[in-house]
Every structure is written in structure tokens, then in C-alpha cells.
Amino acid sequence: MIDEPKASQMERNQIENANNLDIKKTLLFGRRDFVMDFIAVSVVIGFFGMAFLIALTPRDGTDHDVLNVLIGQLSAGFIAVLSFFFGSIRKP
């Protein structure tokens, strides 16, 4: 069994190492990696676009299952993006 304070310290070390790695990559290449930002923006635009489409267009009963799966996937991606950019990991 892992001791709780030790596990907490290990988690803090992992977060610090990940933040330091991001800083080192930025200094090495001279710019931030824009791929994660692009993916995040795409998910957010897709989520709100799908929400507006659902609200504004009439739907028949044949394709509601596929639409529900798509909404669920976009919602999960949206929550992951929010957690990454505004969660406790990104706080300095």
C-alpha cells in the first residue's frame, strides 16, 4: 500500500516535471507547441457548433442515436479541454 503523503509528493513532483519539460521545450524551439491549442480550439468550436445545430434544426427520429453518441463524445472532449486549461494542473 502506498503511503498517502508519499503519493501526494510523487504527484506534485510529476506535475512539476511536466511543467519544467514544457518550459524547456519552449526555450529549445523558441515557440510553444501549437498542436494542443489547435486541438482544444477545434473541440470547443465543434461542441458549440453541434449545440447550435441541435437547437436550431428539426430532427427526425431515425438518426437520434448517432447524434447522441456524437454529443457525448464532444461533451467529454470539451470537459477534458476545460480541465486541462483551467484545472489544477495548469495553475502556477
Written as tens digits, the pLDDT of the chain (92 aa) is 556 676 677 777 777 777 777 777 777 777 777 787 888 888 889 888 888 888 888 877 776 778 788 888 888 888 888 887 777 554 55
Do 11 and 46 fall within a single domain?
Answer: no
pLDDT value, residue 3: 62
pTM > 0.85 = no
Angstrom distance (rounded) from CA 83 to CA 78? 9
First to last CA, the chain: 30
Number of domains into which the chain is organized: 2
**Domain containing residue 26:** 1-31
Do 62 and 45 fall within a single domain?
Answer: yes
Do 26 and 39 fall within a single domain?
Answer: no
Do 38 and 18 fall within a single domain?
Answer: no
Angstrom distance (rounded) from CA 70 to CA 76? 10
Angstrom distance (rounded) from CA 45 to CA 8? 35
Please give the radius of gyration of the chain, using alpha carbons only, rounded to the nearest integer: 19
pLDDT value, residue 88: 58
